[in-house]
Each structure stands twice: as C-alpha cells, then as structure tokens.
C-alpha cells in the first residue's frame, strides 16, 4: 500500500485517533466519535490479536505518512541497530526531514511538510534538499530557501510557531526560519498515539 492521499478526517476516524494532530480534525472527531461510512456506528466483533497489531502498525505508518514498503524497510533497518527496537524505530521516523519540518512548525501537517520539501523550500546545511525521507543528523542545520519565507502558507505557519515552543532535541527560530538538530529525540520526547510494542509483534510474527 502506498502513502494515503485521501481525506485526513476519514482515515483518522477509521483509526480512532487524530493522525494529523490538527485542531480541525480533532473538532470533527469530537462531533463524530465513530468510524466513517454507513456502518460507522455499528458494533464490531472482538478483534483478533493479529488485527490489533495490524491496526497499530497502520496507525503508526499513517501518522508519519510513510508508504508501506518504506515503512517495512525502515523497521528492518531499526531492528538491526543496537538498543530498543521500538525506540530506535520511532527515532528514525521522527528524524525524517518531512517530520522535522512539521515539528519545527514550518508546516502545519506532515503532508504539507512533504510538499514543502518536495518543492525545494527546505535547505540542509545551506544546500537545497527535496527528499522528504532524508534522515537528519545531530548538528544538521535546517533553513528555508531564499524567498520561501514569503510563501503565504509558510509565513502563516511561522507566525503561529512564534507562540509555540521547541522540543528538547532541536532549536528553531521562527524569526529567521532556521533551526539546528541538537540530539536524537529520546523516547520521552516522542508522543505518538500508538503502542510500538504491538508494531514490533506484528513484524515478528
């Protein structure tokens, strides 16, 4: 399965969590706290252990807006590294350039962040990079291409960011539109609506 490109509200309602972390989706889900479609409010039977693990895997994949094959390859890479596989996997997902652009507040959603990167608005260490899956490294400097600060969407996002805060693993200045990766995110820094242990169990079956 490729990356999901349909309505964010629909997929969030299906999975039962706000996958975009947007206020708009959250508000809609409050009014419609059940799945989409004609049978969204009907009772479902008790899911199997496999179905539970599959749903957790899908939620995490959709949360980061990653394609099925790329997600599986990333997990395989994480499982070969030292440390807790779940934590390493989440760190690798958090370190994707599109997610970092979203976390820094340059984009309002990960989907928008992916577009900004693909359209060449983002620079890494002074060089334009249009690869959303690029894994940022400690010390990397993320900035906006000259002229991109005037993009109406980026401008609005940065204005909103001025009222927010940075996460412990990066520094970002909304005035200049530039930031720096200070460290890998710790497990405590990563808040996801998913139990990553069930994802590990899914791939270990």
- Domain 8-86+192-203, classified CATH 1.10.1050.10, yes or no: yes
Q: How many CB atoms lie within 10 A of CB 26?
A: 12
**Confidence (pLDDT) at 1:** 45
Instruction: Look at residue 86 and tell me whether its pLDDT is greater than 80.
Output: yes
Fold of 96-181: 3.10.290
The torsion angle over the Cα atoms of residues 57, 59, 65 and 66, rounded to 10 degrees, is: 10
- Same fold for the domain at 8-86+192-203 and the one at 96-181? no
Strand, coil or helix: 138? coil
CA distances from 106 to 59, 125, 179, 205 (A): 24, 17, 10, 39
What distance lies between CA 127 and its chain's CA centroid? 23
Domain ranges of the chain: 8-86+192-203, 96-181
pLDDT band, very low/low/confident/very high, at 49 (cuts 50, 70, 90): very high
Give the pLDDT of residue 47. 87
Of the CA atoms within 13 Å of residue 52, those in its CB half-sphere come to 10
Separation of alpha carbons 123 and 145, rounded Å: 6
C-alpha–C-alpha distance, residues 150 and 81, integer Å? 41
- Identify which of 93, 96, 81 has the alpha carbon closest to the alpha carbon of residue 135: 96
DSSP track, 71-97: HHHHHHHHHTSSS-HHHHHHHHHHTBH
What letters, b where the CB count within 10 A reaches 16 and e where it falls short, cover 85-100? bbbbbbbbbbbbbbbb
**Predicted TM-score of the model (pTM):** 0.82
Name the DSSP letter for residue 180.
E
pLDDT in tens, 112-136: 999 999 999 999 999 999 999 999 9
State the virtual CA torsion across 139, 144, 146, 152 in degrees, nearest 10. -170
């Amino acid at each position: 399965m490729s990356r999901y490109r349909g309505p964010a509200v629909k997929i969030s309602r299906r999975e039962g969590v706000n996958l975009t972390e947007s206020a708009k989706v959250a508000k809609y889900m409050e009014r419609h706290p059940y799945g989409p479609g004609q049978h969204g409010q009907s009772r479902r039977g008790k899911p199997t252990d496999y179905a539970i693990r599959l749903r957790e895997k899908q939620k995490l994949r959709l949360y980061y807006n990653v394609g099925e094959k790329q997600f599986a390859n990333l997990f395989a890479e994480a499982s070969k590294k030292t440390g807790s596989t779940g934590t390493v996997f989440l760190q690798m997902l958090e370190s994707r350039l599109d997610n970092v652009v979203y976390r820094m507040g340059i984009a309002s959603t990960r989907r928008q962040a992916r577009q900004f990167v693909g359209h060449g608005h983002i620079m890494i260490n002074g060089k334009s990079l249009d690869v959303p899956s690029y894994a940022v490294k400690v010390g990397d400097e993320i900035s906006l291409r000259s002229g991109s600060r005037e993009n109406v969407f980026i401008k609005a996002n940065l204005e909103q960011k001025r009222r927010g805060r940075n996460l412990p693993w990066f520094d970002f200045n909304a005035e200049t539109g530039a930031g720096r990766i200070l460290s890998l995110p710790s497990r405590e820094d990563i808040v996801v609506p998913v139990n990553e242990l069930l994802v590990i169990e899914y791939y270990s079956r």
